[in-house]
Amino acid sequence: PGKSMSKLIVLAKKTKKLGQDDPRRIIHSLKVGLAITLVSLFYYFEPLYDGFGVSAMWAVLTVVVVFEFSVGGTLSRGLNRGLATFLAAGLGFGAHHLANLSGKLGEPILLGLFVFLLASTVTFVRFFPRMKARYDYGLLIFILTFCLISVSGYRDDEVWHMAHMRVSTILIGGFTAVCVCILIFPVWAGTDLHNLVANNIDKLANFLEGFGPLYFQIPQDGEMDMTFLEGYKCVLNSKQTEESLANFAGWEPGHGEFRFRHPWKQYLKIGSLTRNCAYRIEALNGYLNTETKIPEEIRGKMQDACINMSSEAVKALKELAFSIQTMTKPCSANSHITKSKIAAKNLKSLLSASLCKETEILDLIPAVAVASLLVDVVACTEKIEESVQE
């Protein structure tokens, strides 16, 4: 019992942490509960239930399947579902009618052929990367609805009735989901993307800020916060997240400071430059863990230049992150980058002038090399940043 007790406590702690990390998760859960309850009760009460019949469960199904964490996700799935159902219903009705005309024997053969052709083709279309990104769910629903309607054993007028019921219940379900999603504490994928890109730049800055003192083993006041060493790691694998957020953001209407057609692709560009920078930082991080220590005399010489250079880069990165966050023009980032470049040059000449004894050059250079790369990347980021402001 003691063991299961401690497991329970661990679980409770995990749950609490999950909720604290992002309280919107709790709100989202409650929102889903609310939307489903609304639709369920709507469906439960007899008068409506009699009117819609079994298709009413499509309303519940729609809410469950369509409701996503972000507004963009919900809209994307809802529109996909609505549009696909509508198109497929029309096509399915046509196929059904055509098969009906061909008599008792030809009907199943023709229907089978239609279903096979359509399902195969649409499944193949789902492999196109562009279709997959935006319309994957819609294509799935398209196959589904087409099969259900074309193969249904009903007579033509029954099919009309069924299609009508289905479309209206799906509309009710989708409408409920979208309303609850947008009206109660909406989570905008666009805002998330905006913050993610800014935070990622910030994380790189945090690493660089801590890197200098740690590499040169400068004693710090008080305990040092080592979390910055791990922070940038998630930037390395942020590609998929950014892409799906940008995709969802494209479905969202204007909100807050974002217009409807906000240039979300710019964020992807900045994100990919940030990732490039993060790869360099990952390489830099490798040098923190190696045991080889720098000879004392050289350390003193290069320490100032290095720290100066990285602190200017940190200032530039932080300002860029801040300016993305607040959507203002970065005013002093450029001068920080220039200063950082000057520091890099100083370091270069320092190195080639004085480091020609039998020291292990390999121990010193990497930091410089990567940092100078970093400066380039920062300059790149700034270019993109400016284009966002336009």
Positions in 326-355 near a second copy (CB under 8 A): 348, 351-353, 355
Residue 302 amino acid letter:
M
Q: Which of residues 282, 334, 379, 384 is near a second copy by CB under 8 A?
A: 282
Q: Is residue 237 part of the contact set for a second copy (CB under 8 A)?
A: yes
Q: Near a second copy by CB under 8 A, which window of 208-216, 231-239, 249-257, 329-337?
A: 231-239
Measured from the CB atom, the residue of 9 and 18 that comes closer to a second copy is 18
Q: Give the C-alpha separation, 235 to 63, whole Å.
A: 33
Residues 357-376 that bind a second copy (CB under 8 A): 358-362, 365-366, 368-370, 372-373
Phi, psi of 331, deg, nearest 5: -95, -40
Q: Least Å distance between CB 374 and a second copy?
A: 11
| Cβ partners under 8 Å of residue 387, min gap 6 | 266
Q: Which of residues 12, 34, 224, 327 is near a second copy by CB under 8 A?
A: 34
Pairs from 225-229 (Cβ < 8 Å, separation ≥ 24): 228/203, 229/285, 229/288
Measured from the CB atom, the residue of 25 and 299 that comes closer to a second copy is 25
Secondary element (H or E) of residue 200: helix 189-215
Q: Hey, CA dihedral for 182, 188, 189, 190, is it positive or negative?
A: positive
Burial of 238: CB neighbours in 10 Å, binned 0-12, 13-18, 19+: buried
Q: Are 237 and 222 in contact (CB under 8 A)?
A: no
Q: Least Å distance between CB 22 and a second copy?
A: 8
DSSP string, 99-136: HHHTHHHHHHHHHHHHHHHHHHHHHHHTTSHHHHHHHH
Measured from the CB atom, the residue of 91 and 119 that comes closer to a second copy is 119
Token pair of 183, please? Answer: 């009206």
Residues 256-275 that bind a second copy (CB under 8 A): 275
Measured from the CB atom, the residue of 211 and 258 that comes closer to a second copy is 211
Measured from the CB atom, the residue of 104 and 261 that comes closer to a second copy is 104
Measured from the CB atom, the residue of 117 and 179 that comes closer to a second copy is 117
Whose tokens are 């905008």? That residue is 188
Residues 45-74 that bind a second copy (CB under 8 A): 45-46, 49, 54, 57, 60-61, 64-65
Q: Which of residues 32, 193, 208, 375 is near a second copy by CB under 8 A?
A: 32
Q: Is residue 112 part of the contact set for a second copy (CB under 8 A)?
A: yes
Residues 150-209 that bind a second copy (CB under 8 A): 151-153
Measured from the CB atom, the residue of 83 and 148 that comes closer to a second copy is 148
Q: Near a second copy by CB under 8 A, which window of 25-33, 258-266, 312-320, 379-387?
A: 25-33
Q: Give the C-alpha separation, 355 to 250, whole Å.
A: 54
Measured from the CB atom, the residue of 259 and 348 that comes closer to a second copy is 348
Q: Is residue 29 part of the contact set for a second copy (CB under 8 A)?
A: yes
Q: What is the DSSP letter of 206?
A: H
Q: Which of residues 280, 318, 336, 341 is near a second copy by CB under 8 A?
A: 280
Q: CB 259: neighbour CB atoms within 10 A? A: 11
Phi, psi of 262, deg, nearest 5: -60, 140
Residues 142-161 that bind a second copy (CB under 8 A): 143-144, 147-148, 151-153
Q: Give the C-alpha separation, 274 to 266, whole Å.
A: 12
Q: Least Å distance between CB 13 and a second copy?
A: 13
Q: What is the DSSP letter of 69?
A: S
Q: Near a second copy by CB under 8 A, which window of 198-206, 232-240, 262-270, 305-313?
A: 232-240
Please state the separation of Cα 1 from the chain's center in Å.
41
Measured from the CB atom, the residue of 53 and 253 that comes closer to a second copy is 53
Q: CB 379: neighbour CB atoms within 10 A? A: 16
